[in-house]
Structure 1
Amino acid sequence: MDPVIELISTGDEVLTGLITDTNAGWLSQRLLEQGWQVRRRFTVGDNKADLVALFEQRSHCADIVIVNGGLGPTSDDISAAAMAETAAVPLVLNEWWLKVMREKYAGRSRTMPESNIKQAMLPEGAEVVDNPIGTACGFSVQYNRSLFFFTPGVPSELKKMMDQEILPRMRNRLGQQGKSQVRRYFLFGLSESGLSDQLDSLSWPAGIILGYRANAPTIELKLIIDTDDADAIAVAEAQLLKEVGNHLVARDELQFAALSSLLHDRDLVIFEDASGGRLTDTLHTLTPEFEGHYLAGLPDTAEDLAQWLKGSGRATTLAIGAEGPQGVPMALLTPNGCQAQTLKVHFRDPLMRRRLLAFAAFDMLRRQLEGLPVIIDYDILPRSEQISLP
């Protein structure tokens, strides 16, 4: 049976939304990479009674509980005190961690404030979890069914402690690796709801479910795998790839730098109008020698834009024209000819419009360089015109 792993995020700032809880998302993804899927996540404010009640409740339900936040030196940092009250043990001074903190301050030519002593007060019987870069040590406590890990809220400290200290302890307790895994696929041109309608009605092997995440301009589609059946995994991936077809842009991670590597050693020029120079700006940060131009007043039909490119005298040119009655034209000129299309953009947000147009144009180029059909149907950007000139 898979271990039950739960996360608890603490702090009034997190609960009220004044701070975005990026730590919980990172923890869930990091654990999934190790083969363990988080079962539940909770958020609670700086209220000791609420923390004690939650710790007691979860101690009977979960194998591992990772608590994030509340280990600082101020009065509202109460995670250690709450755990001590839950387990009915006193807080005791950890002399080793107090010595570590004093040495860290001395190394910065500073005197440690007395308030920091609070960070060395741990529930009796707790095991210290080293924090190599901060003053808040983590600690672990076995209580009822659960092994609790307490971690600081500073993201850089949490990540280092998780990788260096907590994951090795978890592997020792749960086994070297869980069987859960996630495979990620980044798609462009499809809507999240349309993709869900298309895929959710299909039959998927036992132990495999789908996950969706809209992150414009792409959609991240996930196979969340809770089986070690290699044949079932292969069947599921083959079915997914067949359904999404040519809309697949990248696997595992969407890195524009990796996509832009296609442009190295290419004599390419880009002209932009309706996209406001967004594609040019993005590519410039990755390939400084790249040539791109933002020009107002480019043609607003696919045919006119294609003819304009053919007269430019360039070998390979990509252009995003001005918005016209039929939408926004874009054209790709190569030594083999010119292909152009006009796409309708129904999004009102100006930034979103520019991002979608820039990525659609880049997608045409990517397809041409990878030997794929240059023009395909996009659900989110319906095409009103298409032409091809020799």
Structure 2
Amino acid sequence: MIPHPIHGRGAQSAAVPQRFGLSAREADGDWLDAQGGVDGPAPKLRTTVTEERARSILSFNRSPDIPFDRSINAYRGCEHGCVYCYARPSHAFHDLSPGLDFETKLFAKPDAARLLRAALAKPGYKPAPIAMGTNTDPYQPIEARYRLTRAVLEVCLETRHPVTITTKSVRVLRDLELLTQLARLNLTAVSISVTSLDPRLSGLLEPRASAPAKRLDALAQLAAAGVPAHVSVAPVIPAITDAYIEGILEAAAARGVQTASWIMLRLPHEVAPLFREWLGVHYPDRAGKVMAIVQSVRGGKDNDSRFCERMKPRGVWADVFRTRFRLACQRLGLNRDQPALDCTRFVRPEPGGQLRLF
């Protein structure tokens, strides 16, 4: 167990990945003494942002497990610091830690909107909903400075291209006027993930994301503005957050939300040891129980990464969560109507950046 929990961050260590043969980083005694003593607290971590000159912005996939085939991530890493985030291992490709580096050493792609316009201008491009928020939150704190998500939404509105958003931040409301215009054309839907109703628990799991009550209020404002608002109960963490399934759905339905989904906790690659470490720091009394249930729904392993299996937990506990979610949705009238976004309005931009007039 770590003697000094790192407040304001999800990961409790750097946890450098070993699957790429990188050496582990450890602070020696001299460095610790310089910071105030071996037993003293570590210095406050600072967030840094590196601007990345990407050559493309649209990522395509053929996964049978997810309902979209293309996505945009204008940022790499995420300051929200959700300890369970399945995207953490992607930071290892930069020789950075999926632990603290993922939430403190961020990357931004300033050319995101220009690159999207160029991709949409290609003669062979065929429109389908673009998903934002698949590998990093599009409304994490640095969006206030870079406004890359807003710029992408502006391109989508100009070209009449459908786009979906998944976030844990009320910063999404800063673009409410854009989202409202897109919604009037049936071009957008916004999903807000709510993990629990306990602000203290949320602060431990997702330290720099918006508090649960604020996320629910954001859902209400989106729904009131006519923007299709979706609540994602994700992830469900057994013996930690599963008690809130029905409460989250009830609170969302009361605020005008009409659709909902849930996702079982996934622990790919370095996320598993990071999560175990987090349990040891914050919930040592039930760490064994939590991991026993996690393994019971993943065939005895921490994670099952196989296509057609990774998003389908199995076993008694999975059936219990699935049934509870289904019955609550039926009782609350959720998921009765889930209209598809409109792909027929798309107007291809000219390669030089202008839209075709005729």
**TM-score interval w.r.t. the shorter chain?**
under 0.3
Structure with a larger share of its residues in strand:
1
> What TM-score comes out, normalization by structure 2 length?
0.24
> What TM-score comes out, normalization by structure 1 length?
0.22
Which structure has the larger Rg over C-alpha atoms?
1
Higher relative contact order (CA 8 A, sep 6+): 2
